[in-house]
Amino acid sequence: MRAPTTLVTVAALAVGLSGCSLAPRAGATQHVPSASAAAAGPARSPSGSVDCRKARCVALTFDDSPSVRTPQILDILRRYGVHATFFTLGKYHVVKYPGTVRRMAAQGHEVETLTWSHRILTEISPADVREEITRGRDAVATVIGRRPVMLRPPQGHTSPTVTAICRRLGMAQVLWSASASDYQTTDSALITSRILARTGPGGIILLHDRVDPTNRGYNGTVAAIPGIVSGLEARGYTFVTVTQLLAPSKPRPGEVYE
């Protein structure tokens, strides 16, 4: 009998860069599998669900969704039988591509929020923080009829004030443990190798679903996805949504997961 997955508090620091970059963050709750679970392969029930207390699970997430590239991403994920979690932007994204948002939900992906307009929550007033979160999640709810319960704070910046607001709004915060810094490069091979090197059991992968007209970054992400999926599956990983990763617990309002 394998020990259940535990939740521990960590203080994670990273260097903030441009775009939706890694940023300093503290007090995050990390989803850490037991040693025996880390060594195990996929553990599926007869219904096809995954028990991440027994399997080597990893969650694939995308920020800044949707864009004109999202249909390509959805095609790839469907081909590999992988479900992901999309953290969407309301302004110019959800409202512009509602059909794509509906397709995400129809294919079994999680549709959550990255706020309304990507304002940095630690740099604005509490009233504006609340508005950014509620407008972002309400934009999703209008399209798919389900209100998001998870927030990715833009650039990973959060604070006790933001956390308190999320708790009152019933929102958990989801950060990440593996980033390809795909806002810096268009090199798909480099993006793939970074994720393969940085991903561990119970990890949350950060990629971006964005088009960069300057061609400085983001434009290599789609082509990197097949190598990321096949590479991690070859190592015994099972791809799940963030909610599945946290099961049997549910995302707790105000909690910060990484």
Position 51 pLDDT exceeds 60: yes
> What average pLDDT does this structure show over 161-170?
98
Position 248 pLDDT exceeds 60: yes
Burial 21-39 (b: 16+ CB within 10 A, else e): bbbebeebbbbbbbeebbe
Q: Which of 63, 64, 182, 209 is catalytic?
A: 63
Instruction: Supply the pLDDT for residue 216.
Output: 78
Instruction: Supply the pLDDT for residue 31.
Output: 53
Burial 128-162 (b: 16+ CB within 10 A, else e): ebbbbbbebbbbbeebbeebbbbbbbbbbbbbeeb
Using only the alpha carbons of the chain, give its radius of gyration: 17
> Angle between the 98-106 and 126-144 helix axes, to the nearest 10 degrees?
70
Q: How far apart are CA 151 and CA 63, in angstroms?
A: 11
Q: Which of 51, 182, 208, 209 is catalytic?
A: 208
Asked if 111 contacts 88 with a C-beta cutoff of 8 angstroms, the reply is yes
Asked if 61 contacts 205 with a C-beta cutoff of 8 angstroms, the reply is yes
Tokens of 20: 């939706």
Pairing verdict, β 85-88 and 110-113: parallel
Residue 212 annotated to the active site: no
27 phi/psi in degrees, rounded to 5: 75, 20
Task: Give the domains, in start order, of the chain with CATH numbers.
Answer: 51-257 (3.20.20.370)
Position 174 pLDDT exceeds 50: yes
* Percentage, residues of the chain above pLDDT 70: 81
Position 26 pLDDT exceeds 80: no
> What average pLDDT does this structure show over 178-183?
94
Residue 182 annotated to the active site: no
Partners of 173 in the beta sheet? 151, 256
